[in-house]
Chain A
Amino acid sequence: EVQLVESGGGLVQPGGSLRLSCAASGFTFSSYSMNWVRQAPGKGLEWVSNISSSSSTIYYADSVEGRFTVSRDNAKNSLYLQMNSLRAEDTAVYYCAREGITGRYYMDVWGKGTTVTVSS
């Protein structure tokens, strides 16, 4: 079964850091670009970051550029999101999602999400 499982969410103070992980199974992880997408409470979906299959190309939304770093370990079938200088507005459920076809941008497999709360 194709599956993505996020972990690492929690409560963190403003200015703090958190590292999210996404474990992939059931498909050849190293062949796919991956995304992080977040959803603030009661709000819509917001794309956060994209990383190509070989990590050669990485993109970030303006709202997280310079604070978040995406990475992957194809040997461990894992995707990561290092989040620094966290703000209250980063509070959200964070989903990892597989890009169906590289360059076509749609996301065909999603994890269930992990919740990040930034509050003092």
Chain B
Amino acid sequence: QSVLTQPPSVSGAPGQRVTISCTGSSSNIGSGYGVHWYQQLPGTAPKLLIYINSNRPSGVPDRFSGSKSGTSASLAISGLQAEDEADYYCQSYDSSLSGSTVFGGGTKLTVL
């Protein structure tokens, strides 16, 4: 059971927009700690997609966007492409666990 809760799977057709939710609590997302998102393509290492709620590293397309409200955060992917099919993880910090970075359980995105 992950500290941050994500849906196990989402899907969408090419060109559509999908969102992935990440639900936490008052000791992590709700305490003001930033939420970060990673994309993991099959057989590869995770890649930083969004940092501190809504910032994109250079090279990440603006089709990817992040938001945060209260104890939850969301990753939105617009103009879905086949190459977006991957696992997506949210991450934050939890003040109830000493020094603990926490990840969501991951969401498998299928492009139909």
Contacts and interface: CB of A to CB of B under 8 A. Distances in A.
Interface of A: 35, 37, 44-47, 50, 57-62, 95, 97, 100, 104-108, 110-113
Contact of A110 (B34, B46, B52, B103): B46
B47 to A, nearest CB: 7
Report whether over half of chain A's contact residues are helix, strand or loop; otherwise say mixed: strand
Interface string B32-72: 01101010100011111001100001000000000000000
A106 B45 CA distance: 15
A37 B89 CA distance: 13
Given A100-B51, A108-B48, 4 more contacts: A44-B2, A45-B103, A106-B52, A110-B45
A104 B51 contact: yes
Given A59-B100, A111-B45, A45 B34 contact: no
Contacts of A45: 38, 40, 46, 89, 91, 103, 106
Interface residues of B, number: 29
B58 to A, nearest CB: 10
Contacts of B38: 45, 107
Interface in B69-112: 87, 89, 91-93, 97-106
Contact of A104 (B34, B89, B100): B34
Contact of B101 (A50, A100, A110): A50
A60 B65 CA distance: 31
